[in-house]
A and B are shown apart, each in its own frame.
Chain A
Amino acid sequence: MRARYWVPTLYIVFLLLPIYWLLNMSFKTTNEILGGFSLWPHEFTLENYRVIFTDATWYNGYIASIQYVALNTVLSVAAALPAAYAFSRYRFLGDKHLFFWLLTNRMAPPAVFALPFYQLYSAVGLFDTPFAVALAHTLFNIPLAVWILEGFMSGVPKELDETAYVDGYSFWGFFIRIFIPTIAAGIGVACFFCFMFSWVELLLAKTLTAVDAKPIAALMTKTASTSGYQLGLLAAAGSLTLIPGAVVIYFVRNYIAKGFALGRV
Chain B
Amino acid sequence: MSLELKRITKRVGAETTIHETSLVLEERSFNTLLGPTLAGKTTLMQLMAGLDRPTSGEIWFRGENVTGVPVQKRNVAMVYQQFINYPNFTVYENIASPLRVARMAAAEIDRRVMHAAELLRLTPMLKRRPAELSGGQQQRTAIARALVKDADLVLLDEPLANLDYKLREELRDELPRFFADRNCIVVYATTEPGEALLFGGNTATLHAGGITQFGETAALYRRPADLVTARVFSDPPINTAQVVKRGGEIRLGDFRLPVGQAAAGLPDGSYVIGIRPHHVTPSPVTANAAPIDGTVVIAELSGSESAVHFDIDGQTWVSQSPGIHPFEVGSVARLYVDMDHAMFFDLDHRRVEGAE
Contact = CB atoms under 8 A, between A and B. Distances in A.
Given A162-B51, A166-B49, A166-B71, A181 B88 contact: yes
B51 A168 contact: no
B78 A173 contact: no
A167 B84 contact: no
B214 interface: no
Contacts of A159: 80, 82, 84
B72 A162 contact: no
Interface in B50-95: 51, 70-72, 76-78, 80, 82, 84, 86-89
B86 A182 contact: yes
A167 B151 CA distance: 10
Nearest to B13: A91
Interface string A154-179: 00010110111111111001000010
B102 interface: yes
A125 to B, nearest CB: 43
A185 B219 CA distance: 53
B131 to A, nearest CB: 11
A166 B87 CA distance: 17
B87 A163 contact: no
A169 B72 contact: yes
Interface SS of chain A: helix
Contacts of B72: 165, 168-170
Contacts of B71: 162, 165-166
A36 to B, nearest CB: 59
A164 B46 CA distance: 14
A164 B86 CA distance: 9
B98 interface: yes
B102 A182 contact: no
Contacts of A164: 86
A167 B87 contact: no
A160 B138 CA distance: 13
A162 B78 contact: yes
Given A165-B72, A167-B145, A157 B101 contact: no
A170 B71 CA distance: 10
A160 B101 contact: no
With a 10 A CB-CB cut-off, give which of A163, A166, A173 has the most chain B CB atoms. Answer: A166
A183 to B, nearest CB: 10
Contacts of A163: 78, 80, 84, 86, 142, 145
Which of the listed residues A157, A165, A167, A184 has the most CB atoms from chain B within 10 Å of its own CB? A167
A160 to B, nearest CB: 5
Nearest to B146: A166
Contacts of B295: none
B87 A168 contact: no
Contact of B86 (A160, A162, A165, A173): A160
A170 B102 CA distance: 12
A169 B51 CA distance: 12
B316 interface: no
A182 B78 contact: no
A182 B82 contact: no
A166 B76 contact: yes
A62 B206 CA distance: 66
Contact of A182 (B46, B70, B87, B97): B87
A184 B86 CA distance: 13
A167 B98 contact: yes
B78 A169 contact: no
Interface in B143-158: 145, 149
Given A159-B80, A159-B82, A160-B84, A166 B51 contact: yes
- Which of B46, B49, B51, B149 has the most CB atoms of chain A within a 10 A radius of its CB? B51
Nearest to B103: A168
B10 to A, nearest CB: 15
Given A173-B101, A182-B87, A166 B82 contact: no
A181 B76 CA distance: 25
Contacts of A184: 88
A167 B97 contact: yes
A46 B261 CA distance: 106
Residue of A160, A163, A173, A182 with most partner-chain B CB within 10 A:
A163
A156 to B, nearest CB: 9
Contacts of A167: 97-98, 101, 145, 149
B119 to A, nearest CB: 19
B17 to A, nearest CB: 14
Interface centre among A162, A170, A184 (most CB of B within 10 A): A162
A62 B153 CA distance: 60
Given A159-B82, A181-B87, A184-B88, 15 more contacts: A159-B80, A159-B84, A160-B84, A162-B46, A163-B84, A165-B51, A166-B51, A166-B71, A166-B76, A166-B78, A167-B98, A168-B101, A169-B72, A173-B101, A182-B87
Interface of B: 46, 49, 51, 70-72, 76-78, 80, 82, 84, 86-89, 97-98, 101-102, 142, 145, 149
Closest 8 pairs between A and B when the two form their complex, measured CB to CB: A181-B88, A168-B101, A167-B98, A159-B80, A166-B78, A159-B84, A163-B84, A165-B71
16 contacts: A157-B82, A157-B84, A159-B82, A159-B84, A162-B49, A163-B142, A163-B145, A166-B76, A167-B98, A167-B145, A168-B98, A168-B101, A169-B101, A173-B101, A178-B86, A182-B87
